[in-house]
Amino acid sequence: MSFFTELAHQYIDGEWRPGSGSWDIIDFNPYDGEKLASIPVATAVEVDQAYRAAERAQVPWGETNPYARRAVFEKALRVIEDREQEITETIIAELGGTHVKAAFELHLAKEFLREAMQLALRPEGRILPSPVDGKENRVYRLPVGVVGVISPFNFPFLLSIKSVAPALALGNAVVLKPHQNTPICGGSLVGKLFEDAGLPPGVLNVVITDIAEIGDALLEHPVPRAISFTGSDKVGRHVATVCAASFKRAILELGGNSALIVLDDADIDYAVDAAVFSRYVHQGQVCMAANRVLVDRSVEKEFTEKFVAKVRTLKVGDPSDPATHIGPLINSQQADAVTALVDQTVEAGATALLHGGAEGNLVSPSVLTGIATDSPILGQEIFGPVALIVPFDGEDEAVRIANDTPYGLSGAVHTADIERGVRIAKRIETGMIHINDGTVHDEPIVPFGGEKHSGSGRLNGESMIEAFTTQKWISVQHGRSRFPF
C-alpha cells in the first residue's frame, strides 16, 4: 500500500524527513503481523523543531482571512473523497478495522471537516458597556497559538482530525503526535491530507515518536498553550498534571465504562441490536462502548437469550473481508490482557454464556453474567469484545449500578416511555447519554466529553471555540480619564 511507503516519515515545517532517533517504530498489521512500515523515531530535537516551526507559522496563519482558511478544509474534504478507497484500505490494514468501522470513521472525519469550514467563520467579538464614561470595552476571540494534539489508536484518523481541523480553522498551528501503533492513519496521513489541501508549511507538523524516547518533551515544551489528548485516564491524569505545572490548557477525552440500561418496558429485540453493536463495534475498542448491559430482572431471561443468540452470529476474522464483524485487537498485549481478564472473572465465580478464546490478536466475543458486585471487571474499561450482563430491580438500582464506576462518558436507556428515559438519563453521571439508541455516537456540533475520570473539557461545535481560542479585553477610552492622583 502506497501510504505505508510514501508516508513513513516525520512531517516538520513542510518537509518529509526521518527522525534522528537510534531506533525505529515498526508499524504492524494486527491481523496477520505483516510489517507495514519502519519509521525512524523522532527525538526531543524534532519535537522542538516542530513546535518552533509551528510558532513561526502560526502568526501569519492566524492573520489569514478566515474565508481563505475555510478553503483549505473544502479542499481537504475533496482529497479524502478522491482517495477514500486507499484510506479505507489503510485503516483496515493498520488498525484491523472492519469495513463497517472504516466507513463509520471516514464518514465522521468528513463531517468534522465540514464543521471546520463553518468554524473558521464563527468566532465573534463583543463590545461591552462600561461604568466609566467614554470607555468602550472590546472583547476579541483570538487563537491560543500553538496546540499539541495526541491521538489514540482506535479511531486515529477521525480523532486526529477532530482536534487538528478545528484548531487550524480557528487560526492556531498544531503539532500532532499519533499513537505509536497507528502512525500513518493517526499522523502522517493527516499531514499529507492538509499538505495536499494547500495548508502552508509549518502550520501542521507531525512527529512520530514514543515517550520512551522523548519523555514529557511534547507536554513540557514552552511553545504550546494547549494540549488536546485522547486516550486512557491513567495517561490523561499525567498529561493534566504536567500541563497544570506550566499553566497549559488541557482538553482531555479519556476512557469510559458505559452502561446500556434496558428497562422493563423496553423493545427487547431493538435493545438487543443496540447493545450488541454498542459492545462489539471495532472489537470493543471504543471509549463509548457499552461495557455493562444493565437489564431489569423481569426481562433479563428474554433479553439474555436473544443477546447471546445474536452475538453467536458475529463473524470473527479477517477485517478485509466485508462480512467480518470482529477483527483483531490492536496488539498481542491487549489480546492477552482481555482474555486474562475474562478468565479471572470466570474463575472468581462469574458465568460465561460465551467464553471467547484468542487466536493471535483475534479474540472471540465473551458474554459474562452472574458477576459479583465487587468484581474489578465491573469498574473498569474493557477495551475488547466482552459484554457484562447485570440484572437490576427497579430504576433506583439501575441508576446506582450505572454510577458505580469512576468513569462517566456515555450511556443509553431503553424504554417505551421517552420521558421516563430522560428522567433516568439525568441521574446518570455521564457527559452524554442516549434514549433508545446505542452508546456510540459523535456529532460535530454537539458537545462531546465526559465526567469524573472520563475527562475534562468538551469538543465539537461551540466547545471547539472555547477549547482553541482565548478572549482578550481591549478597552478604548474616548476622551480623557480622570485619575485620583
Instruction: Convert the pLDDT of each residue in 38-55 to its tens digit.
Output: 999 999 999 999 999 999
The CA dihedral of 194, 50, 207, 123, to the nearest 10 degrees, is: -50
Please check the confidence at residue 1 and state whether its pLDDT lies above 80.
no
Please check the confidence at residue 124 and state whether its pLDDT lies above 70.
yes
pTM of the model: 0.96
Instruction: Convert the pLDDT of each residue in 212-233 to its tens digit.
Output: 999 999 999 999 999 999 999 9
CA distances, 459 to each of 124, 246, 412, 462 (Å): 18, 22, 20, 8
- pLDDT score recorded for residue 2: 80
pLDDT-based confidence at residue 89 (cuts at 50, 70, 90): very high
Average confidence score pLDDT of the chain: 97
How many alpha carbons lie under 13 Å from residue 393 in its C-beta half-sphere? 0
Please check the confidence at residue 457 and state whether its pLDDT lies above 70.
yes
Which residues are marked as active site?
Answer: 253, 287
Average pLDDT over residues 19-34: 96
Q: How far is CA 233 from the centre of its chain?
A: 12
Average pLDDT over residues 357-375: 96
The CA dihedral of 149, 152, 153, 159, to the nearest 10 degrees, is: -70
Instruction: Convert the pLDDT of each residue in 169-191 to its tens digit.
Output: 999 999 999 999 999 999 999 99
**148 DSSP β-pair partners:** 175, 227
> Parallel, antiparallel, or unpaired: how do β-strands 135-143 and 358-359 relate?
unpaired
Nearest Cα residue to 271 out of 89, 438, 484: 438
- pLDDT score recorded for residue 49: 98
Show Cβ contacts of residue 282 under 8 Å, excluding neighbours closer than 6 positions.
Answer: 97, 98, 101, 154, 155, 327
Report the C-alpha gap between 84 and 140 in whole angstroms: 39
Instruction: Convert the pLDDT of each residue in 234-266 to its tens digit.
Output: 999 999 999 999 999 999 999 999 999 999 999
- pLDDT score recorded for residue 475: 97
Helix residue spans in 120-200 (DSSP H): 156-169, 189-196
Give the chain's domains with CATH numbers: 2-254+454-473 (3.40.605.10), 259-435 (3.40.309.10)
Cβ atoms 193, 84 nearer than 8 A = no
- pLDDT score recorded for residue 435: 98
